[in-house]
Amino acid sequence: MKRPLDSRVYVLEKPEQSVLLSESTMKETGNRLLTDKRKIWIDLDNSPHVPLFVPIIEELQKRGYSISLTARDCFQVRELADLFHLNYKLIGHHSGRSKIRKLAGLCLRALHLIPIILREKPVLAVSHGSRSQLIVSVCLRIPSVFMSDYEFATGWAFIRPTWHMCPDLIPNSALQFEPNRIMKYPGIKEDVYVTRFVPKPGIRLQLGLQEQDVVVTIRPPASEAHYHNLQSDELFEAAIECLSKKPELKLVLLPRNEKQAICLKKGWPDLFSSGQMRIPDKVVDGLNLIWNSDFVISGGGTMNREAAALGVPVYSVFRGKIGAVDRYLAERGRLVLLESVQDVQARIRVVRRERLAKAQNGSSVTVNSIVQHIVEVMEGKRTDLRKGEGAGVDQLASLDAKRVAGISSPHVIK
């Protein structure tokens, strides 16, 4: 069976050894011996979650916490986890576009996770939008921290996390959570790992490009996502047609899967045969490709925000509901929202970008804030919603047990 193609791979500073430290190593560095009472379960559900959580895992382990790591086999999650030598358990895979198949795959993965998590006995579950983890944490009454950076993502009214964590750019009024269940961090999630990015030479040569070429990296819309809007496809196609008329411009496409790659090659065979448009024949360093591009066009949020975090000009053809993070970036000129075919023709600037020798990556304030929130939950420094007192994970588990009384099996999901 062919695996889905995702040409984006995040390569930051490749670790020489596992990011997950052994207990003996941690003990040698002065950390106290780990017990289940300090174990956190992190689930990697999609490819951007791997580079996001690597710095978070490292910081949590420096503070003496043990990590139980699971991952879903889709969109290069496994390859990325292997790249960083993560010690993880691979559970589940991508289920396709159909809503029925997605729901069935979601529940099946949750069922497969349950016996593993029962053995691991974590006291807190953390993820960036993993619905399978959310189901399991509710069924097993494990307190959970559910991270997200898009307030219009489809949620469930009957299965909810203990805590919701998001950028402080998103107002509480846009979230369907009690204010004292919301935790905020400064910046955007891409700031967590872009701070580690180090540009590497040679990627243009690897792709058959010349240094003097003007290069645009293009990410097609997520056609299988629940938030997909057909207008995104219209703008994407208009961008290809408009940019292909500029012979000095080289287009590098990063399809989301093999099916999308085949459609692109069938749609513009002349551009591929002439060499003006290309798809990498093997995985490439996504951040490095963005850095070595003159501008970026994307139909999805993560690549747009990565480019913005790196200071690379970026244009979005996403036409779903625009979230607070993208609005913030657009208002500050770090992201251009293309709203029509006329915008595509008038607003995209095809110019060579002057690349600095070193990326201006900012500080570690974002990752420190995220880690501190998790630590506060683990150490009982968060407020109990009923009594206004400090509530540790044991008290939170009791609170969630009462809140979700009657839910004891994922079979309740219809």
Per-residue pLDDT tens digits for 21-37: 544 444 444 443 444 67
Would you state the pLDDT for residue 361? 61
Would you state the pLDDT for residue 158? 76
Q: Is 241 left (phi over 0), alpha (psi -120 to 50) or beta?
A: alpha
Would you state the pLDDT for residue 391? 43
Task: Say yes or no to pLDDT of 276 above 90.
Answer: yes
Secondary structure (DSSP) of 42-99? EEE-STTHHHHHHHHHHHHHHTT-EEEEEEEESTTHHHHHHHTT---EEEEE---S-H
Sequence-ordered alpha helix ranges (H) in 244-381: 258-267, 269-274, 286-291, 301-310, 324-331, 341-347, 365-378
Q: What is the mean pLDDT of residues 134-160?
A: 90
Task: Say yes or no to pLDDT of 197 above 80.
Answer: yes
Task: Say yes or no to pLDDT of 13 above 60.
Answer: no
Q: What is the mean pLDDT of the chain?
A: 82
| 341 band by pLDDT with thresholds 50, 70 and 90 | very high
The fold of 203-347 is: Rossmann fold (3.40.50)
Task: Say yes or no to pLDDT of 218 above 70.
Answer: yes
Q: Are 148 and 129 in contact (CB under 8 A)?
A: yes
Q: What is the mean pLDDT of residues 55-74?
A: 94
Residue 363 makes CB contacts below 8 A (sequence gap 6+) with 195
Task: Say yes or no to pLDDT of 86 above 90.
Answer: yes
Produce one character per residue of 131-162: b if its CB has 16 or more CB atoms within 10 Å, e if not.
bbbbbbbbbbbbbbbbbbbbbeeebeeebbbb
The residue ranges of every structural domain in the chain are 12-195+363-412, 203-347
Q: Are 298 and 316 in contact (CB under 8 A)?
A: yes
Q: What is the mean pLDDT of residues 357-377?
A: 86
Task: Say yes or no to pLDDT of 290 above 50.
Answer: yes
Instruction: Give the pairing type, strands 314-316 and 295-298.
Output: parallel
Please give the CATH superfamily to which domain 12-195+363-412 belongs: Glycogen Phosphorylase B; (3.40.50.2000)
Task: Say yes or no to pLDDT of 235 above 60.
Answer: yes
Task: Say yes or no to pLDDT of 356 above 90.
Answer: no
Which carries the bigger pLDDT value, residue 307 or residue 80? 307
Task: Say yes or no to pLDDT of 367 above 90.
Answer: yes
Q: What is the mean pLDDT of residues 166-191?
A: 94
Q: Are 108 and 92 in contact (CB under 8 A)?
A: yes
Would you state the pLDDT for residue 132? 94
Percent of the chain with pLDDT over 90: 58
66-75, 158-167, 202-211, 386-395: least confident range: 386-395
Task: Say yes or no to pLDDT of 226 above 90.
Answer: no
Distance CA 169, CA 83 (A): 32
**CATH fold match for the domains 12-195+363-412 and 203-347:** yes
14-18, 65-69, 231-235, 351-355: least confident range: 14-18
120-134, 167-181, 211-225, 376-390: least confident range: 376-390
pTM of the full structure = 0.79
At 213 the three-state DSSP class reads: coil
Sign, Cα dihedral of 249, 253, 259, 262: positive
Would you state the pLDDT for residue 157? 66
Q: Which residue type occupies 399?
A: L
